Chains A and B, each alone.
Chain A
């Protein structure tokens, strides 16, 4: 918009709209939000790795063993460590926001607190992880 003149003939610039470029760098809260969004890529990449493994399994024993060998390479181990870090950050950031995404849960006339919802989330995540690990280790022996 061009400056407009008012009744007294004084030219005025229109209300100033501030640019949004780089908005997420301006506040640590927004940086943490972006970490949550970006680490979703780790979840996606790991899902691709596993899907590819299932594909190789369907192609016979040689293909499956080749995939297993590839998983043991140093590059693959580094990738998995990076993906694991991304997953942990993703889980942490989602449990942080989880109480805000749910309708209130009332137990015995009291609303279940945000911290209790977060602790329950973490407990379930840890128990499921340990169960899967136990299953994996058990299947080796």
Chain B
């Protein structure tokens, strides 16, 4: 790796619950090379300047979804945001918006995980097949319907981008609703009825006002705004369909 020849100022919003009642900014001068990400800048701070700075990370390659944070006020994965693109700085780094700060750049994920569990994010087979009967098959067109939504890595950037979630944390939110759509639309899935209650609720799709920033910030090219808004139509149909006479009645 080349020796760093330049430095950049990284400002970190610190919150140490033993010391502070509200977050404060702290500034660090970080030497950097052309190939260094913001995450590597933070790792330099932790290793060389201030070991008390807390943040989450794991894969360093935009797959694990752990290192999301606000970088210059935009929800971003710090592993795929490069210091060279933010020069001359300063680079302002904060915990993801709209989520409670546990410590420094670490936010509470418990409510998100609970919501994710609630939508049953797995295929509930329409008809159970025995192993000897082989795979559940799907055509390319059926895959196309769900493929982009299945790219979600649960990084929660879309939650930091959603003011409606900020104003009402009960809102199921873009990421989880996009995954709900992914399973409901899967040709192999038969769990739609179990998920419609969450989708139809006030905190389901109807809390969305189509701001659309969730889809702008998604690092995996998922379009949660589209998933949520398509399902306003599905939710309305689900409501009115009950008034139709049942088949064979």
Residue pair A27, B73 in contact (C-beta under 8 Å): yes
Identify B229's interface contact among A10, A14, A101, CB under 8 A.
A101
Q: Which of A13, A103, A111 contacts B20 (CB 8 A)?
A: A13
Are A17 and B18 closer than 8 Å at their CB atoms? no
Whether B230 and A102, one on each chain, are in contact in the complex, defined by CB atoms closer than 8 angstroms, is yes
B234, closest chain A residue (CB): A103
Per-residue A-contact encoding for B208-232, CB less than 8 Å = 1, 0 else: 0111110110000001011001101
Q: Knowing A14-B17, A15-B102, A18-B101 touch, does A100 contact B211 (C-beta < 8 A)?
A: no
Q: With an 8 A cutoff between CB atoms, is B166 at the interface? A: yes
Q: Which residues of A contact B98 (CB under 8 A)?
A: 18, 20
Check if A72 is an interface residue, CB within 8 A of chain B: no
Tell me whether A12 and B17 are in contact in the complex, defined as CB-CB below 8 angstroms, given that A26-B73, A100-B223 are known contacts.
Answer: yes
Interface assignment of B88: CB less than 8 Å from any CB of chain A: no
A29, A30, A103: the one within 8 Å of B233 (CB): A103
**What is the total of A-B residue contacts with beta carbons within 8 Å?**
75
Tell me the smallest distance from the CB of B23 to a CB of chain A, in Å: 6
Q: How far is the CA of A23 from the CA of B167 in the complex (A)?
A: 9
Cβ contacts under 8 Å, A100 to chain B? 210, 212, 215, 223, 225-226, 229
Known: A11-B18, A15-B108, A103-B230. A20 touches B211 (CB 8 A): no
CB-based contact A23/B163 at 8 Å:
yes
Flag B1-19 by CB within 8 Å of A: 1 or 0 each. Answer: 0000000000000010110
Q: Which residue of B lies closest to A13 (CB)?
A: B17
Given A15-B100, A33-B211; 17 other pairs, CB 8 A cutoff? A3-B17, A12-B18, A14-B17, A14-B100, A15-B102, A15-B108, A16-B23, A17-B100, A23-B166, A29-B211, A30-B163, A30-B213, A100-B215, A100-B223, A101-B232, A103-B230, A104-B145
Q: Does A52 contact B (CB under 8 A)?
A: no
Chain B residues 127 to 160 lying within 8 A of chain A, measured CB to CB, are 141, 144-145
Residue numbers in B under 8 Å from A26 (CB-CB): 73
Query: Which of B97, B141, B145, B211 gathers most chain A CB within 10 Å?
Result: B211
A-B contact pairs, 7 of them (CB 8 A): A11-B18, A14-B17, A16-B15, A27-B74, A30-B213, A100-B210, A100-B229
Q: Which residues of A contact B (CB under 8 A)?
A: 3, 10-18, 20, 23-24, 26-27, 29-30, 33, 37, 97, 99-104, 109, 111
Report A-chain residues with C-beta under 8 Å of the C-beta of B215. 100
Give B233 Cβ to nearest chain A Cβ, in Å: 7
Among B18, B97, B108, B230, contact of A18 (Cβ-Cβ < 8 Å): B97
Residue of B nearest to A4 (CB): B17
**Contact across chains for B216 and A29 when beta carbons are under 8 A apart:** yes
Asked whether B193 is an interface residue with its Cβ less than 8 Å from the other chain, the reply is: no
Task: Indicate if the CB atoms of A20 and B163 lie closer than 8 Å.
Answer: yes
Whether B85 is near chain A, meaning CB under 8 Å from some CB there, is no
Task: Please give, as numbers and ranges, the residues of chain A lying within 8 Å of B145 by CB-CB distance.
Answer: 104
Q: Does B22 belong to the interface (CB within 8 Å)?
A: yes
In the complex, chain B residues whose CB is within 8 Å of the CB of A20:
98, 163, 166-167
Residues of A within 8 A of B233 (CB): 103
Closest beta carbon of chain A to B216's beta carbon, Å: 7
CB <8 Å contact, A97 and B163:
no
CA distance A103 to B223 in the complex (A): 12
Interface string of B150-194 (1 = CB under 8 A from A): 000000000000010011000000000000000000000000000
